[in-house]
Amino acid sequence: MSTEEATDELRRSSRAEAVAKRIETRIAEQSLASGHRLGTKENLRREFDVAAATFNESVRLLVSRGIISVRPGVKGGLFVASPPALVRLGRKMLELSGDSVSVSDCLVVRDNLEPLIAQEAMRHRTDADLADLRRLADAMAVEGLTTADYLTANWALHRRIAEITPNQILRHTYVSLLEFVESRLRGVTADEPARGNPAGPAVHRELVEAIAAGDATRLTAAQNAHAALTVARREAT
């Protein structure tokens, strides 16, 4: 992947995530019930004024998180889904906790879930999953990324790894924690060249390749290297 292609992919992923957030916020703010019809894909795509590929990615994100469902046919479209009770409980806990929940606490729990997330990804990954993971890992390695762009690419990769597991409770718990951290850090990340650990892109690429290889020993080593990257980050928050 060229630098231009990776940058375009990062921008598309960011736009897709932003649209997904807006739809999720609409559902929450309007208290839309399970089964409520949001509209057709085309009408919603035009409303949010994004390309078809970007909106399709937004839909994929929302479906994978249990936020919406897609129904075919004349009366089909996008509908508010009914997530499992434990998922609703987890979201409600974060909503009610507000400022009492710290980024550091969320990172501790999220980081301890990551080995299980990676193991599940290794067990259930498909060729399509691996192609996505490699593309997202490439986006992290683009030269000249700002701190905000680097973190966006990082979060996108980890979210995609989590989406591989068929365990909905694990997936939604992890993604909810990741989204909470994103929401707290997005407004304070600098629009300047990233100054994080220069080994970061290589460590994440090795994590992806360990998942692809299906080698438990290699995956453990990759997870240990990744965990070492997060220690300083937790201490800084």
Walk along the chain (237 residues) and give the pLDDT tens digit of each residue.
555 555 555 566 678 888 988 898 888 788 888 899 999 999 999 999 999 989 999 998 888 878 899 998 888 899 998 765 555 555 555 555 555 566 677 778 888 899 999 999 999 999 999 999 999 999 988 888 888 888 888 989 999 999 999 998 888 888 888 877 777 766 555 444 444 557 889 999 999 999 999 999 999 999 999 988 876 555 544
- What are the boundaries of each domain within the chain? 3-80, 85-236
Contacts of 58 (CB under 8 A, 6+ apart): 16, 17, 19, 20, 23, 48, 50
pLDDT of residue 204: 95
pLDDT of residue 149: 83
The topology (CATH level 3) of 85-236 is Four Helix Bundle (Hemerythrin (Met), subunit A) (1.20.120)
- How many of the other CB atoms lie within 10 Å of CB of 121? 24
Class of domain 3-80: mainly alpha
pLDDT of residue 43: 94
Model-level pTM greater than 0.85?
A: no
